[in-house]
Amino acid sequence: MNFLGYRRPDGSVGVRNYVLILPATRLCNQVAYRIGQTVAHTKTVISTGEYGRHKRDRDRQARVLVGLARNPNVAATVLIGMKEGVGYPEFQLSRLVPQIASCGKPLVAVNLSEEGGMHRAIGKGIIEARRLVYEASKIRREPFPLEKMIIGVKCGSSDPTSGISGNPAFGNLVDRVVGAGGTALFSETIEVVGAEDELAKRAVSPKVAEDLYGAVKKTEKAAAGIGEDIRTINPIPENIAAGITTLEEKSLGAIAKSGTVPLQGVLEYCQQPPGKGLYFMDGWMSSFSLPMSFAAAGCQMVFYQIGGQGMPDEDPPIYATNTGVVAPLIYVTGNPRTYQKARLHIDMTTGEVLTGEMSVSQAGERLLNLAVDIASGMLSKGETVNYMDPLEVYFEGPFL
């Protein structure tokens, strides 16, 4: 089975062909926004602030910026920064340019100070972005095998169908992608609490199991340290309304999305996987954050399993719209009622698994077909909307 993608100089394959407008620092957000408003076929990052954050968190922020630019769906990048010496060292053009340029894709750095200020930098950025978009449009899609596919899987608005008909179907998709030589990432460390023994059994080495236990322990300790009942935070109120009672119950349903294949490694937040296969990324469960984290780690697409029973209304607002910036977000539900309520947002339902009318394997096969279609250019429903939620980076804190 092949998908049609865009060949990149570093050997990766894009499923979209965007020019990314990237501010190095929050000070450059407005410049990036103006360029993105003017130039078609671009995606714009509106950066979250780096001020008052310690070095590890600034490194995270920089890893997000670099990772989004290196994502295979990006054909070229316009990076906007300030003159050398302004701001923290992690966000200097001299620091960011080599990290992005090493993947071989076109990169234009616009130095706001050298251009003569903000408005001239906007003009320069528009000229460069238009040129890059035009050049990028010459790249043709070509067929590639599934070993070039890299997806992220997330679950959210979890309800009791998530662990029965939703996440197991995602697990089957992961098994199929990884079985064909591809790569899959999953995350949400707090939602491994209570299910870590099951996952650790699948680790390829004792070191990987140890890394997994380490990540979970750190997060559980932080949760216990705040002195509030975890159940007032996670499961979230919608989960509880839908019938999920404890964090452990949510976790056991959540890890089903990782399938049954061996766990190759534990990644730091937004770290690109060093090889193929299934990886766990230490990350935050937020729907407004995690799809972006997967995109920054190099995922071409993010599959979002939505339970949705706790969503109160017909035609509900969806949890997140394209927070991945460069990687399409694809919604799938295992809850037939949710699909009825939110058909405008949800790309596919695997709800028939609930009643046994469809097997988990059949659901996985249909998901893989959807993945290949969307990878080859079909839009996800979320991509039909001109709205993007703001970036939320998973910081360690404290903020000073």
Partner 1 sequence: MKFQAIALHEKDNVGVLLEDVKKNQCVPIGGRQKHEIAARDDIRFGHKIALMDIPQGGIIQKYGHPIGVATQKIFAGEHVHIHNVGGLRAGGKSPAGKGERA
State yes or no: residue 227 binds partner 1 (CB under 8 A): yes
The mark string for 157-186 relative to partner 1 (x by CB under 8 A, - otherwise) is: --xxx-xx----------------------
198 binds partner 1 (CB under 8 A): yes
CB count within 10 Å of CB 307 equals 30
Interactions with partner 1, residue window 238-267 (CB under 8 A): 240, 242-243, 245-249, 252-253
Closest to partner 1 by CB, 73 or 338: 338
Classified as helix, coil or strand, 150 is strand
The closest alpha carbon to 234, from 336, 155, 337, 170, belongs to 155
> Hey, which residues between 316 and 335 contact partner 1 (CB under 8 A)?
335
Q: Does 229 engage in binding with partner 1 (CB under 8 A)?
A: yes
- Per-residue binding string, partner 1, 274-313, x by CB under 8 A, is -----------------------------------x----
C-alpha angle 171/175/176, rounded to 5°? 120
Question: 354, 360, 362, 299: which is closest to 325 by C-alpha?
Answer: 299
Please state, as a whole number, how many other Cβ atoms lie within 10 Å of the Cβ of residue 139: 14
CA-based nearest residue to 323, from 395, 378, 387, 375: 387
Give the ranges where the chain is alpha helix by DSSP (H). Answer: 29-38, 55-70, 93-101, 112-115, 118-136, 167-179, 196-200, 206-225, 237-242, 247-254, 290-296, 336-341, 360-375
Among 337, 361, 362, 392, binds partner 1 (CB under 8 A): 337
Using CB under 8 A, pick the residue from 65, 169, 195, 212 that binds partner 1: 195
Tell me the CA distances in angstroms from 66 to 250, 262, 330, one per residue in order: 33, 29, 23
**Shortest approach of partner 1 to residue 227 CB, angstroms?**
7
We find the least distance from the C-beta atom of residue 164 to partner 1, in angstroms, to be 7
Instruction: Give 50 or 191: the residue with its C-beta nearer to partner 1.
Output: 191
Q: Which stretch binds partner 1 (CB under 8 A): 32-40, 154-162, 272-280, 365-373?
A: 154-162
Residue 101: strand, helix, or coil: helix
The site for partner 1 (CB under 8 A) is made up of 159-161, 163-164, 190, 193-195, 198, 219-221, 223-231, 240, 242-243, 245-249, 252-253, 309, 335, 337, 354-356
